[in-house]
Amino acid sequence: MTRTRMEAFSDGVIAILITIMVLELRPPHGTSLADLGPLLPKLLSYLLSFTFLAIYWNNHHHLLHAVDRVNGRVLWANVHLLFWLSLTPFVTAWMGEHHAAPVPVAVYGAVLFLSAVAYYLLVQALLGLHGPKSRLARALGSGRKEKASLAAYAAAIPLAFVERWIAVGIYVAVAIAWWVPDLRIERTLERE
Amino acid sequence: MTRTRMEAFSDGVIAILITIMVLELRPPHGTSLADLGPLLPKLLSYLLSFTFLAIYWNNHHHLLHAVDRVNGRVLWANVHLLFWLSLTPFVTAWMGEHHAAPVPVAVYGAVLFLSAVAYYLLVQALLGLHGPKSRLARALGSGRKEKASLAAYAAAIPLAFVERWIAVGIYVAVAIAWWVPDLRIERTLERE
Amino acid sequence: MTRTRMEAFSDGVIAILITIMVLELRPPHGTSLADLGPLLPKLLSYLLSFTFLAIYWNNHHHLLHAVDRVNGRVLWANVHLLFWLSLTPFVTAWMGEHHAAPVPVAVYGAVLFLSAVAYYLLVQALLGLHGPKSRLARALGSGRKEKASLAAYAAAIPLAFVERWIAVGIYVAVAIAWWVPDLRIERTLERE
Amino acid sequence: MTRTRMEAFSDGVIAILITIMVLELRPPHGTSLADLGPLLPKLLSYLLSFTFLAIYWNNHHHLLHAVDRVNGRVLWANVHLLFWLSLTPFVTAWMGEHHAAPVPVAVYGAVLFLSAVAYYLLVQALLGLHGPKSRLARALGSGRKEKASLAAYAAAIPLAFVERWIAVGIYVAVAIAWWVPDLRIERTLERE
């Protein structure tokens, strides 16, 4: 039961986050197609964050699939992850309003980085509870993709000050790399 | 379990979308009945979008009723559908604020069209997984209603520039045609 | 399954409605206790609507408890109820901002009235499906409380133009009368 | 079933509350790191309230774990708790906007106090239903932590007028004391 409620709560928070971001897309005052132009950076910013939150929902979903039980540490690691994710609408709005100025782009990357760290800590809390020989541990494998994403975010933050589009490009690349759901877990479970 | 969480997440997002649209209905500054007058286009715009989202919720609900399992492709097709639906509050507000000016009416139709395309892709992803002889395939039938809706939206978008009320009339007609829930699936399931 | 999803969707929409109303309570610009004074009508307006939505959630919950199955008509009757409930934040804000001026008080009553009509139609749709000898029909009894509430709202709307506080008093009285959950259903179920 | 829906509704409301607070964090107009400075009090205020709501979610979750059934009184005690929790975004915004001025800090404490009273009343309603020898009663133990928190909030409210940082310090201390989830219930249940 505990796992089910943790899932339902996380799904609820992520569903709300993904949806309230659209409140930032204020309709333009004019009524021509050209009036939509200035909204484009906001829309792309929204699309990127929508994708990241969908990836988190998707991976969180697959992760808990292989989980047998949760404890207090897991619950708090999960809330910690939700906290960083909850800052997504804020940094999305900041980046979208200022045509990707360097500092907002870097701060956006920092929130991505800290969310990824929180996800990593959640995985560690679950591994600590289930042990290295559990179905979960086998399903997760080496965690290479998670580590590569962390490294990419860490690189993107300073690069935002050099050339912001490199940083944005890194975010897009990481999003595409995760687009495919966490097939490792799916496959391991199917084999059993 | 996966299907259940996908349902819960989709229900959550649609419930939030349908509800946050009401935040656009700002109370008037005056306190006479006449002050409600200028809100009428917004209210009707809200009513139309509320109906469309309720139809999607309803059909999505019936669709998943006949589904046995989901995979990564289905999850992403579902998130893709939620993305287009999530733009509904934005286009609803734009159309409602400008008494149905041509461009907002056309863009509203474009979001309806792209949502319908995304729904079609979700159906295809499910059919690809379940096969042409599955209970789902029999339940869905020819998909005539879906294709007719797509054609109607595609026609409404250019017509909005000729006479916007024709386009709005098409949206209303499609909504009424879908008002009755997807009885085909219900009937096929009952017969079994 | 269908009933479960209808419940979950309704719970979701009501939970969101009850919560987004609090977004109307903007913090005052000053920092003294006196600055909270002008917020009092808004807070009381919020409290009244919170109570009404909680009553609907509660009764909806008890109603579905005795339901065995749903069909398309029930699903649409339910969406219709949610539509009227979704206008609650709008009329709450209007009434709260204008210290209960006559028209906002009457319009508030109209939304209460139409929500009650929609609830009545939902009950009828469920009774039509389950038959007059069903557990549901026995549990619901004569529906006197529902009819009395409808009559009270219908009386309050014109009275708002005579003396608005009589109308507000009627709303409060109806809320108190419903405060106790729908014990009739609870008792009938317990006896079985 | 009733307990499940009450849980789902409560989870929904708390998930929405925890998330809409982030809407108060409006992105700054400038694009330098220094522009984030004035947001710091708001961010810390958000972090504190996020933690409190997460604690309530967590404890509510553990509390219902040991519950066998609910009745009308429990449902209303639960809604009463949700009402006070729903005022959290309002007081969080007020405290955050005014760098923790005395009155907002005291009012913040009052909402914490009344939420804690409501939680206590919910526990009493559940104990009244399950009896003093129930699994729930054993799991809850003496309720020392709850009483100590109540006393701490009651002390913090007047202290906010003497030195506001003492009051804020008390809130932070209580949050840390609750950070560890309600292990008493977990342990008692494990022993059985």
- D150 in Cβ contact with D113 (< 8 Å): yes
What pLDDT sits at residue B183? 54
What pLDDT sits at residue A128? 87
Token pair of A37 as six digits: 């132009």
Please, what is the angle between helix B88-97 and helix B2-20, to 10°?
20
| Residue A100 DSSP symbol | T
Q: Which of D182, D57, D64 is nearest to D126 (CA)?
A: D64
- Mean pLDDT in residue range D111-122: 96
| Residue D132 DSSP symbol | T
Token pair of B163 as six digits: 């006479």
Residue of B nearest to C87 (CA): B22
Token pair of D30 as six digits: 């400038």
pLDDT at A192 over 60: no
What pLDDT sits at residue A142? 76
CA neighbours closer than 13 Å in the CB half-sphere of residue A143: 16
Interchain proximity C19–D23, CB inside 8 Å: no
- B19 in Cβ contact with C23 (< 8 Å): no
- Mean pLDDT in residue range B19-44: 90
CA C76 to CA C82: how far, in whole Å?
10
Chain D residues with CB-CB distance to C183 below 8 A: 72
Give the length of chain D.
192
Q: How far is D12 from chain A (nearest CA, A)?
A: 7
Predicted ipTM?
0.86
Interchain proximity D19–A16, CB inside 8 Å: yes
Tracing tokens 């956006």 back to the chain, one arrives at: A108
Question: What is the signed CA dihedral for D103, D104, D105, D110, rounded to 10 degrees?
Answer: 90
What pLDDT sits at residue B59? 85
- Mean pLDDT in residue range A54-58: 89
Interchain proximity A104–D19, CB inside 8 Å: no
What backbone phi and psi angles, to 5 degrees, belong to D123?
A: -60, -45
Q: Is D12 on the interface with A (CB under 8 A)?
A: yes
Q: How far is C128 from chain D (nearest CA, A)?
A: 24
What pLDDT sits at residue D118? 97
Rounded to the nearest integer, the mean pLDDT of chain D is 88
Higher pLDDT, C150 or A4: C150
Q: How far is C101 from chain B (nearest CA, A)?
A: 7
DSSP SS3 for B3: helix
**pLDDT band at D49, cuts 50/70/90?**
very high
CA D130 to CA D135: how far, in whole Å?
8
Closest partner residue to B90 (CB to CB) among A16, A20, A25 is A25
Closest partner residue to B103 (CB to CB) among A18, A26, A33 is A33
| Residue B27 DSSP symbol | P
Closest partner residue to C75 (CB to CB) among B12, B33, B181 is B181
Q: How far is D72 from chain C (nearest CA, A)?
A: 6
> For B174-189, what is each residue's pLDDT tens digit?
998 887 655 555 565 5
Q: Is C65 on the interface with D (CB under 8 A)?
A: yes
- C183 in Cβ contact with D76 (< 8 Å): no
Interchain proximity D76–C181, CB inside 8 Å: yes
Closest partner residue to D20 (CB to CB) among C19, C28, C58 is C19
Please give the full DSSP string across B70-109, using - where no structure is assigned: --HHHHHHHHHHHHHHHTHHHHHHHHHHTTS-HHHHHHHH
What pLDDT sits at residue C148? 92
Interchain proximity D9–C15, CB inside 8 Å: yes
Q: Is C70 on the interface with B (CB under 8 A)?
A: no
What counts of helices (H) and strands (E) characterise chain C?
Answer: 9, 0
What pLDDT sits at residue A102? 92
Q: Is A23 on the interface with D (CB under 8 A)?
A: yes
Q: Which of B71, B77, B67, B78 is nearest to B10 (CA)?
A: B78
> For B120-167, what is each residue's pLDDT tens digit?
999 999 998 888 888 888 877 777 888 999 999 999 999 999 999 999
- D81 in Cβ contact with D123 (< 8 Å): no
pLDDT at D187 over 70: no
Interchain proximity D72–C180, CB inside 8 Å: yes
Rounded to the nearest integer, the mean pLDDT of chain A is 88
- Alpha-carbon distances, residue A55 vs A46, C50, D9, D86 (angstroms): 14, 35, 26, 30
Tracing tokens 């339902």 back to the chain, one arrives at: A8
- A27 in Cβ contact with B90 (< 8 Å): yes
- D46 in Cβ contact with A84 (< 8 Å): no
Q: How far is A25 from chain D (nearest CA, A)?
A: 13
Q: Is A89 on the interface with D (CB under 8 A)?
A: yes
pLDDT-above-70 percentage for chain A: 93
Interchain proximity D54–A79, CB inside 8 Å: yes
Chain C residues with CB-CB distance to B12 below 8 A: 12
Contacts 24+ apart (CB under 8 A), C174-181: C174/C112, C174/C149, C175/C48, C175/C51, C175/C52, C175/C55, C177/C145, C177/C148, C177/C149, C178/C55, C178/C59, C178/C145, C178/C149, C179/C51, C179/C55, C179/D76, C180/D72, C181/C58, C181/C59, C181/C62, C181/D72, C181/D75, C181/D76
Residue of C nearest to B181 (CA): C72
Interchain proximity B61–C103, CB inside 8 Å: no
Q: How far is A124 from chain B (nearest CA, A)?
A: 23
Q: Which of A25, A165, A91 is nearest to D36 (CA)?
A: A91
pLDDT at A190 over 60: no
Residue of D nearest to C179 (CA): D76
- Mean pLDDT in residue range D150-156: 96
Residue of D nearest to C10 (CA): D9
Q: How far is C2 from chain B (nearest CA, A)?
A: 8
Chain D residues with CB-CB distance to A90 below 8 A: 22, 25, 27
Chain D residues with CB-CB distance to C28 below 8 A: 94
> For A18-42, what is each residue's pLDDT tens digit?
999 998 888 998 989 999 988 999 9
Closest partner residue to A15 (CB to CB) among B16, B89, B102 is B16
Q: Which of C88, C80, C83 is nearest to C110 (CA)?
A: C88
CA D112 to CA A110: how far, in whole Å?
31
Chain D residues with CB-CB distance to A13 below 8 A: 15, 18-19
Q: How far is C147 from chain B (nearest CA, A)?
A: 27
CA B145 to CA B136: how far, in whole Å?
16
- C113 in Cβ contact with C41 (< 8 Å): no
- D90 in Cβ contact with D104 (< 8 Å): no
Q: How many CB pairs under 8 A join A and D?
A: 76
What backbone phi and psi angles, to 5 degrees, belong to C50?
A: -55, -45
pLDDT at A69 over 60: yes
What pLDDT sits at residue D119? 95
CA C107 to CA C152: how far, in whole Å?
14
What backbone phi and psi angles, to 5 degrees, belong to C40?
A: -55, -45
What backbone phi and psi angles, to 5 degrees, belong to D113?
A: -65, -45
* Burial of A112 per CB tally in 10 Å (0-12, 13-18, 19+): buried
Q: Which of B94, B112, B77, B78 is nearest to B41 (CA)?
A: B94
Give the length of chain C.
192
Lowest mean pLDDT: which of A180-184, B12-16, B83-87, D33-37? A180-184
Q: Which of C24, C79, A166 is nearest to D23 (CA)?
A: C24
pLDDT at B115 over 90: yes
Q: Which of D16, C43, C3, C91 is nearest to A86 (CA)?
A: D16
Higher pLDDT, C99 or D173: D173
Rounded to the nearest integer, the mean pLDDT of chain B is 88
Closest partner residue to B9 (CB to CB) among A15, A26, A33 is A15
Q: Which helix (H) or strand (E) holds A147?
A: helix A144-162
What pLDDT sits at residue C181? 52
Higher pLDDT, D188 or C136: C136
Encode chain C (192 residues) as per-residue pLDDT tens digits: 578 778 888 988 999 999 999 988 889 989 899 999 889 999 999 999 999 999 998 888 878 877 888 887 888 899 999 999 999 999 999 999 887 789 999 999 999 999 999 999 999 999 988 888 888 888 777 778 889 999 999 999 999 999 999 999 999 999 988 876 555 555 655 555
CA C103 to CA C94: how far, in whole Å?
10
Query: How many CB atoms sit inside 10 A of residue D34's CB?
Result: 9
Contacts of A among chains (3+ CB pairs under 8 A)? B, D
Higher pLDDT, D173 or B140: D173
| Alpha helix ranges (H) inside chain D | 2-20, 40-65, 72-86, 88-97, 102-130, 135-140, 144-162, 164-179, 183-191
Q: How far is C185 from chain B (nearest CA, A)?
A: 28
